[in-house]
Structure 1
Amino acid sequence: MTEAGAQPTARRAQTQDKLMAAAVRVFAARGIIGASVEEISEEAGFTRGAFYSNFGDKDELVLALLKRQVEEQYAALEQIAELPLDPDRSLDDLISESLDVLQGAARPDPELILINQELMLYAARQRSVGRQYLTYQDECLARFRVLINDLLHKLGQEFTIDLDDAVTLCAAAHHQAHLLAALNNSRPDLRPLHLLIRAITRPLTP
């Protein structure tokens, strides 16, 4: 296994990015179970040894891809939090703009959406991967809670239900929108998520 938590050098990070991009292409063609380390390495233009210098095994690479999804979502929320607020704009307009930013970071390509679904299913089947991912997700939840709560307050709103429940509902609606988009070969329709946010928020109480 590679050393957990170690910050990769720029060159190492570039190699890992190429291996992960190659893995996505191979997974799309062969499926995660059917894909081999050799195929991923060849697709990336590296040797098998280069793969194992960066990832302990295929499971570690899958975990890295799952973690990258979480970090991309968090980065999108940070970008939303930095948007300037126009007091003359309606709340619906502000929510729509925020969801547009989130959409831009979600890489809504149908093939990528399906691969992301497969990554989650693989983690569910491979207990060790699933446990590590859940541990990482739990560690990230505190960051997400603070950021989402601050963002909502910036919009002059608050949730009417428990924060954890609200985040879970919004994540489920976002996930469903992308899955339906993949099935219909279309762009995700985030209107249900917009309506959900409006339904479970209210103006901040003094």
Structure 2
Amino acid sequence: MTTRVPRRRTETRRRLLDAALEVFAEEGFGRSTVEQVCERAGYTRGAFYSNFASLDELFLAMWEQRSATMIDGLRAAFDEAGAGEVTDVRSAVELLLPAIPVDDAWYRVSAEFTAHALRNPGLRRRMTAREDSIAEALMPFLEGLLTRIGRTVPDRAALGQALIAVHDGTTVQCLMEPGDPVVWQRRTELAVHVVTAYSAESRGA
């Protein structure tokens, strides 16, 4: 019994998170209710509140889950990179960038939640801290690749924030014109320019 309860709870949370993404994307975060999420997941309000205190908490858990998945993808791309695969900043960016997803449903949900958080100082602080932690988790992989080509990052925080800005800004453009390869190529080009601008040749390289 002691091993089955945690598994059941994990499954309940997973189904609630999956259902919430669908509901938020379809209805909009501000118009979604706990009842809608529960109905989509097939659970009662009791099951919801035994896992999350509110829809805000559920969103933040969803963001945590997606961030962990992204970091796993970055780690896999980094670990699989061959010795000669990264020869310059462009090749480093082209290796890691595909592991950072551009997702229509998630963008709609996260954009709405960001607007919601801007009206709530407590949520704003939590989102800022979460973005900082995501950028911090990304940096070891990028710095590891840059080290291979004799470059270093003088200001990790500045580069992390700049890359988040690149991702956020180009995501909406890519989603508006998903079939246009030029838009996607510009996303890559901008990332290359930013990484080049915020890194420098290592001394003695």
Q: What TM-score bracket applies, with the shorter chain setting the length? A: 0.7 to 0.9
Q: Supply the RMSD in Å over aligned alpha carbons.
A: 2.7
Letter in 2 for 1:66: W
Q: Which residue of 1 aligns with 2:151?
A: 157
Give the 5 Å matches for 1:1-206.
Answer: 9-87=6-84, 90-91=87-88, 92-100=90-98, 102-103=99-100, 106=101, 108-138=102-132, 142-159=136-153, 161-186=154-179, 189=184, 190-191=187-188, 192-206=190-204
Q: Distance in 2 between matches of 1:68 and 1:88?
A: 30
Indicate conservation of the 8 Å contact 2:155/2:198, yes or no.
no
- Bigger helix share: 2
**Structure 1 stretches of at least 4 aligned residues deviating more than 6 Å after TM superposition:** none
Please list the CA deviations of residues 167-187 of structure 1 after superposition, one character each: whole Å capped at 9, or x if unmatched: 111111111111212233457
Distance 2:126 2:22 in 1: 24
Asked if the contact 2:158/2:198 (under 8 Å) is kept, the reply is no
Aligned residues: 194
For the 8 Å contact 2:17–2:62, the answer to whether it is kept is yes
Q: Report the 3-state secondary structure (helix = DSSP H, G, I; strand = E; otherwise coil) of the residue aligned with 1:33.
A: helix
Please, which runs of 5 or more residues in structure 2 have no aligned partner?
none
Q: Quick one: which amino acid aligns to residue 205 of structure 1? A: R
More deviation, 58-67/31-40: 58-67
Q: Which moved more, 1:18-27 or 1:68-77?
A: 68-77
Contact 2:92 2:142 in 1 (8 A): no
Would the aligned equivalents of 2:136 and 2:160 in 1 still touch at CA under 8 Å? no
**CA offset at residue 56 of structure 1?**
1.1
TM-score with structure 2 length normalisation? 0.79
Unaligned 5+ segments in structure 1 are 1-7
Describe the superposition over 1:30-70 as per-residue Cα deviations: whole angstroms up to 9, x where unpaired: 21111110110001111111111111111110211222333
